[in-house]
């Protein structure tokens, strides 16, 4: 059985009274998930909407708790790290991670960055050893696949595009994703939203089609599912 962790980060809902306000990134990610579930209904699915329910920002107390050896942490420090522990456990359990994100001011939403800050944690998702020279940080998780779903108002953020140097969303996600244990990543992008013209409609249609195609393709590469009987689970 495969475990999928799905993280949405837009502050907009999937569906609103005014459809013009619906989150594009969430709807594209939903298309991917619905297609996946159609092919692999037995897989475990974990969902968090950090755009609507953001995790707390880290603070001085959080950092103090992280750098206190586990067996010396006070009950208050353990409580400070409780959410971080829960989020890290979800990432550790996942085989496939789907992150949907709009581009806010050319980067990721603050809520999504807060999620990463709770997870990228020394001795949990990475370790630190100066004997490695100039690269002392090393991820502790591995073997995961990441699907990045983005929605942008402008266009041309890809390599060689006219706004490549303003593209701080996907590169940042990919940089941080190695500390989630990601080894393979895929991108699905919708562009041109601010223009509201045929280019945007075409881009959105293409993104939804790619979501369906990619989900089907990845499902085909996964081990075949078989229902577990009571005898097998006993």
What is the H or E stretch that residue 151 is in?
A: strand 144-151
Range from 60-69, 189-198, 216-225 carrying the lowest mean pLDDT: 216-225
How many Å apart are CA 176 and CA 99, to the nearest integer? 12
Looking at the predicted structure, is the pLDDT value of residue 232 above 70?
A: no
What digits encode the pLDDT tens for the residues 145-194? Answer: 999 999 999 999 999 999 999 999 999 999 999 999 999 999 999 999 99
pTM of structure: 0.93
How many Å apart are CA 85 and CA 102, to the nearest integer? 26
How many Å apart are CA 224 and CA 43, to the nearest integer? 11
Domain span at 147: 3-233
Task: Give the pLDDT of residue 196.
Answer: 93
Number of domains the chain is built from: 1
What digits encode the pLDDT tens for the residues 89-137? Answer: 999 999 999 999 999 999 999 999 999 999 999 999 999 999 999 999 9
| Closest listed residue to residue 166, CA positions, set 105, 110, 84 | 105
Neighbours of 15 (CB within 10 A): 12
Task: Give the pLDDT of residue 222.
Answer: 80
CA 72-78-83 angle, to 5 degrees, is 145
Under a CB-based contact definition with an 8 Å cutoff, are residues 191 and 203 in contact? Answer: yes
Residue 17 vs residues 12, 13, 20, 22, 64: alpha-carbon distances, Å: 12, 10, 9, 9, 44
Looking at the predicted structure, is the pLDDT value of residue 226 above 70?
A: no
What does the DSSP assignment read for 34-61?
A: HHHHHH-TTSEEEEEETTTSPPPPP-HH
Tokens, residue 20:
């013009």
What pLDDT band is residue 223 in, cutting at 50, 70 and 90? confident
143: left (phi over 0), alpha (psi -120 to 50) or beta: left
Average pLDDT of the chain is 95
Task: Give the pLDDT of residue 214.
Answer: 98
- The CA radius of gyration of the chain, in Å to the nearest whole number, is 19
Q: Provide the CATH number for the domain around residue 9.
A: 3.40.50.360
What digits encode the pLDDT tens for the residues 25-61? Answer: 999 999 999 999 999 999 999 999 999 999 999 999 9
What is the H or E stretch that residue 119 is in?
A: helix 110-119
């Amino acid at each position: 059985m495969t475990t999928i962790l799905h993280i949405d980060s837009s502050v907009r809902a999937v569906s609103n009274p005014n459809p013009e306000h619906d989150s594009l990134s969430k709807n594209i990610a939903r298309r991917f998930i619905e297609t996946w579930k159609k092919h692999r209904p037995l897989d475990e699915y974990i969902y968090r909407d950090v755009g609507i329910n953001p995790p707390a920002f880290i603070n001085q107390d959080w950092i103090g708790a992280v750098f206190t050896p586990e067996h010396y942490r006070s009950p208050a420090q353990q409580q400070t790290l409780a959410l971080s522990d829960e989020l890290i456990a979800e990432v550790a359990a996942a085989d496939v991670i789907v992150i949907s994100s709009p581009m806010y001011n050319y980067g990721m939403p603050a809520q999504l960055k807060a999620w990463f800050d709770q997870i990228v944690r020394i001795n949990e998702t990475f370790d630190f050893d100066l004997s490695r020279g100039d690269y002392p940080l090393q991820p502790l998780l591995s073997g995961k696949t990441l699907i990045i779903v983005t929605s942008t108002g402008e266009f041309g953020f890809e390599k060689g595009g006219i706004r490549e140097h303003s593209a701080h969303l996907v590169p940042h996600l990919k940089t941080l994703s190695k500390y989630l244990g990601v080894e393979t990543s895929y991108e699905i992008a919708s562009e041109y939203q601010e223009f509201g013209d045929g280019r945007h409609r075409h881009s959105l249609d293409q993104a939804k089609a790619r979501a369906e195609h990619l989900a089907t393709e990845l499902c085909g590469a996964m081990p075949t599912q078989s229902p577990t009987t009571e005898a097998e689970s006993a």
